[in-house]
């Protein structure tokens, strides 16, 4: 038997909503006080380690029926709304609207931040360097296609610092103004998503012409304009550009995730910055790379990833991007970097920031 009527339940919800809005505004008022302190001390508005700490606490306190993911998403929007009381946060990313970079910004910073949509990743960096944006967001690697070379090259040559990282769960869809894929002759998308579903496209669309675009949102916009075309992109892009979803989740492997970096001119606040990235090159001598990395093993510093890129100054020489646990301010990391110097021709810290966790399904 249902104890309460719908009207009685709604009355209870209305009373809870009244309490919620009072509590949210109380929280926002505290945010204003923190904003005054940050303004006086020059501290950044976005403090990823503090937000991560709260999200972990939310998950530990959550008893359902909301999933941990749903509860944390609610709090991300609370962070975003509270932050907007402090400052209208401007975040640059690769556009147009509906690109995966744009969606990652919305997930990282909530809907109350302003996305500054740029036509290229290089323009994202320039927006941060010039002060036109407080932060920028750029993809750095994908679990299927690997490293994003352009972002790495820009990091090596820019004065920006890594402020935070975020793992975004990527699902690719075939979207078009056509009613079925049988009438699709041309498929547009950015090179990384095309690589993430090349197997599906080869099996199911072998005769379609594949054309690369600057972003998945650019691809969706072209598919909306051109008869007989489709795009590989996000469901949100289909909604924005009024496209049909012909096929869902066409990525070749489950667990397709992209790691995004948030960049700023000042880097991440020190408390909670427990992951570090650097770029370095080695001298031309036997064992140079081994000797450069050995100090990390001696101090038991966990190396999380290493990628190589062609040197911007010498042909057939390389620079290395290294991610490891620990902060640039910690004694073991300082010691390891000092010991690394004799084997390295240059070392450039890219910043210490809070380590994020890859997406966990079913959470």
- Please determine, for residue 156, whether its predicted confidence score (pLDDT) is greater than 60: yes
189 and 224, same domain (yes or no): yes
Last residue of a domain, one of 52, 84, 116: 84
How confident is residue 213, by pLDDT bands cut at 50, 70 and 90?
Answer: very high
How confident is residue 25, by pLDDT bands cut at 50, 70 and 90?
Answer: very high
Last residue of a domain, one of 264, 299, 322: 264
Convert the pLDDT of each residue in 250-280 to its tens digit.
Answer: 999 888 999 999 999 998 988 889 999 999 9
Residue 294 lies in a domain: yes
Q: Is 213 a catalytic residue?
A: no
Q: Angle at the Cα of 310 (from 308 to 313), degrees rounded to 5?
A: 135
Residue 165 lies in a domain: yes
How confident is residue 313, by pLDDT bands cut at 50, 70 and 90?
Answer: confident
- Please determine, for residue 243, whether its predicted confidence score (pLDDT) is greater than 50: yes
Q: Is 258 a catalytic residue?
A: yes
Rounded to whole angstroms, how far apart are CA atoms 195 and 218? 17
Residue 361 lies in a domain: no
77 and 99, same domain (yes or no): no
Q: How crowded is residue 309: how many other Cβ atoms within 10 Å of its Cβ? A: 18
| Set 100, 260, 280, 296: catalytic member | 260
Of the candidates 190, 157, 160, 175, the residue with the CA atom closest to the CA atom of residue 229:
175
How confident is residue 155, by pLDDT bands cut at 50, 70 and 90?
Answer: very high
Give the CA radius of gyration of the chain: 23
Of the candidates 42, 46, 240, 55, the residue with the CA atom closest to the CA atom of residue 136:
46
Residue 270 lies in a domain: no
Q: How crowded is residue 97: how many other Cβ atoms within 10 Å of its Cβ? A: 16
Domain that holds residue 158: 89-170+257-264
User: In this structure, are residues 154 and 344 in contact, taking their beta carbons and an 8 Å threshold?
Assistant: no
79 and 94, same domain (yes or no): no
For position 291, which CATH number holds? 3.30.70.260
- Please determine, for residue 194, whether its predicted confidence score (pLDDT) is greater than 80: yes
Q: What is the pTM of this model?
A: 0.88
Instruction: Find the farthest-apart pair of alpha carbons in the chain and give their distance in angstroms, rounded.
Output: 80
46 and 108, same domain (yes or no): no
pLDDT (0 to 100) of residue 190: 94
User: Mean pLDDT over residues 17-44, rounded?
Assistant: 86
User: Mean pLDDT over residues 153-177, rounded?
Assistant: 95
98 and 165, same domain (yes or no): yes
pLDDT (0 to 100) of residue 362: 43
Residue 63 lies in a domain: yes
Residue 60 lies in a domain: yes
Convert the pLDDT of each residue in 50-91 to its tens digit.
Answer: 889 999 999 999 998 999 989 999 999 998 888 887 778 899
Read off the tokens for 147. 């490293």
Residue 74 lies in a domain: yes
| Set 82, 151, 216, 258: catalytic member | 258
Read off the tokens for 16. 């809870």
The total of structural domains in the chain comes to: 4
Tokens 């609207």, residue?
97
Distance in angstroms between the alpha carbons of the first and the last residue of the chain: 32
189 and 221, same domain (yes or no): yes
For position 26, which CATH number holds? 1.20.59.10
User: In this structure, are residues 160 and 264 in contact, taking their beta carbons and an 8 Å threshold?
Assistant: yes
Q: How crowded is residue 113: how many other Cβ atoms within 10 Å of its Cβ? A: 23
User: Mean pLDDT over residues 14-30, rounded?
Assistant: 92
For residues 360 and 128, which has the higher predicted lDDT (pLDDT)? Answer: 128
DSSP state of 189: E
Residue 154 lies in a domain: yes
């Amino acid at each position: 038997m249902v104890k309460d009527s719908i009207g009685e339940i709604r009355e209870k919800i209305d009373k809870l909503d009244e309490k919620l809005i009072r509590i949210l505004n109380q929280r926002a008022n505290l945010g204003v006080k923190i904003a005054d302190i940050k303004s006086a001390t020059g501290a950044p508005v976005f403090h990823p380690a503090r937000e991560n700490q709260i999200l972990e606490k939310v998950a530990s306190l959550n008893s359902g029926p909301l999933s941990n993911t749903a509860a944390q998403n609610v709090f991300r929007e609370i962070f975003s709304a509270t932050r907007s009381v402090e400052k209208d946060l401007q975040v640059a990313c690769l556009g147009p609207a509906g690109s995966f970079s744009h969606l990652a910004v919305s997930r990282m910073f909530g809907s109350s931040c302003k996305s500054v949509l740029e036509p290229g990743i290089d323009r994202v960096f320039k927006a941060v360097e010039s002060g036109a944006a407080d932060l920028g967001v750029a993809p750095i690697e994908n679990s299927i296609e690997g490293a994003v070379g352009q972002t790495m090259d820009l990091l090596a040559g820019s004065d920006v610092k890594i402020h935070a990282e975020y793992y975004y769960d990527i699902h690719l869809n075939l979207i078009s103004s056509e009613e079925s894929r049988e009438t699709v002759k041309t498929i547009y998308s950015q090179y990384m998503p095309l690589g993430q579903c090349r197997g599906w496209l080869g099996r199911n669309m072998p005769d379609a012409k594949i054309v690369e675009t600057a972003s998945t949102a650019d691809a969706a916009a072209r598919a909306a304009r051109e008869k007989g075309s489709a795009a590989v992109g996000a469901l949100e892009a289909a909604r924005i550009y009024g496209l049909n979803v012909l096929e869902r989740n066409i990525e070749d492997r489950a667990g397709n995730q992209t790691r995004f970096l948030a960049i700023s001119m000042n880097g991440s606040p020190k408390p909670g910055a427990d992951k570090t990235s650097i770029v370095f090159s080695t001298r031309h001598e036997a064992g140079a790379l081994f000797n450069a990395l050995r100090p990390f093993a001696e101090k038991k510093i966990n190396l999380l990833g290493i990628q190589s890129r062609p040197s911007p100054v010498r042909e057939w020489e390389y620079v290395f991007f290294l991610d490891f646990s620990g902060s640039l301010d910690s004694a073991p990391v300082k010691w390891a970097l000092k010991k690394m110097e004799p084997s390295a021709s240059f070392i450039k810290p890219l910043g210490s920031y809070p380590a994020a966790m890859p997406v966990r399904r079913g959470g």
